[in-house]
Amino acid sequence: MRVTTCEMHTCGEPLRIVETGLPDIIGNTILDKVAFIRENCDDIRKFLMHEPRGHHDMFGTLRVEPDLPSADAAFVFMNNEGYTTMCGHAIIALGRYCVDNGIVEAEEPETLVNIQCPCGLIPTYVSSNKERSGRVRFHSVPSFVLQMDVSVRVPKIGVITVDISYGGAFYAFVSTDALGLTSKAADALTAVEVGQAVTNAIKKLIKIKHPENEDLGFLAGTIIVDRTGLDTKNLVRQMAVFADHELDRSPCGSGTAAHIALLHAKGLLGVNCEKTFQSIVNDSKFVGRVIRKATCGLFDAVIAEVGGNAYYTGRSLFTSEDEDPLMTGFTSRPRMTAHTIET
């Protein structure tokens, strides 16, 4: 293999953009292309996401031909486990990437880039203001609450209450209070184990269905929300655990869109009212709001706007040798040995 990439990050969450080294990707729709990649060239995902070239929390994207006439570019998202339908932190980085690489011609004061991803078309707005370098905002697909106040029994935790919401992918939302956690970085390792346990328990309990496309019907992960200060200041802290025990360094873009839909449904966020979403990384923040109301199937939905900053970190050339027994990579991560939560 010989693959070149552009490396970026959005609020601390990495994005590895594959530029060369891909085979021809076949499929009539972007979801067909995801299936083709999964079945025929998944080694590229493992090669770039896994160690020794990547790490357990790496995230990447492959550019494919769009099938929507209004799309400027189309991308498939990949992580340590497989492929996902939407990634907001990637969209923010890709908006800037598309402008900087001439995929879309730059305009003042910002450039609209229509990015197609597996969940649909994402209008993305890239600022040309030098004082706001790296600033990008996007408008979500119709985002909605699937279920509220779902009781689920999680092994070694007990019965907790979660909400399930969609922002291009489905997430479960659970309060730190229910788990005995905080949103500080010191609790990150515990959050990964607990978040994964919550996701696994919900998958066994509930069949997730999207009202318009069965390929979008899966639970992407769990977002642990720190409710502290929710009613007194315009800040929400959250930790997103997705894929296979993967912890988002950013506040999670698609998860933030889903959270905006949830807050609006609960009467906690009005139209055009901004809220800031912060991750465990200092200064890692997204600003979000409800743009307008919408529908998705029979569900009341909203179009959410999520904005953040993306930056370049380098470029890479990755190669392999035929004799290397670890050519396609491997995964490893720290495992919890203590601090198992009991309730």
Spatial distance between the Cα atoms of 302 and 296, rounded to a whole number of angstroms? 9
The reply to whether 87 belongs to the active site is yes
Cα end-to-end distance, the chain, whole Å: 49
Instruction: Annotate 281-317 with DSSP letters as a single string.
Output: STT-EEEEEEEEEEEETTEEEEEEEEEEEEEEEEEEE
Cβ-count burial 83-95 (b if 16+ within 10 Å, e if not): bbbbbbbbbbbbb
Closest alpha carbon to 255 in 84, 32, 123, 111: 84
87, 98, 119, 252: the catalytic one is 87
Spatial distance between the Cα atoms of 111 and 173, rounded to a whole number of angstroms? 33
At which residue do the structure tokens 């990050």 appear? 9
- Could you tell me the two tokens for 121? 């078309």
Phi, psi of 100 (to 5 degrees): -65, -25
Spatial distance between the Cα atoms of 110 and 53, rounded to a whole number of angstroms? 35
- Could you tell me the two tokens for 45? 């995902």
> Is residue 165 within 8 Å of residue 259, measured between CB atoms?
yes
Spatial distance between the Cα atoms of 30 and 134, rounded to a whole number of angstroms? 27
> Is residue 215 within 8 Å of residue 237, measured between CB atoms?
no
For residue 170, give every residue at least 6 positions away whose Cβ sits within 8 Å of its Cβ, in sequence order, or none: 146, 164, 208, 210, 217, 218, 219, 220, 258
> Is residue 236 within 8 Å of residue 278, measured between CB atoms?
yes
Spatial distance between the Cα atoms of 234 and 260, rounded to a whole number of angstroms? 13
**How much is the CA Rg of the chain, to the nearest whole Å?**
19
Which residues are marked as active site? 87
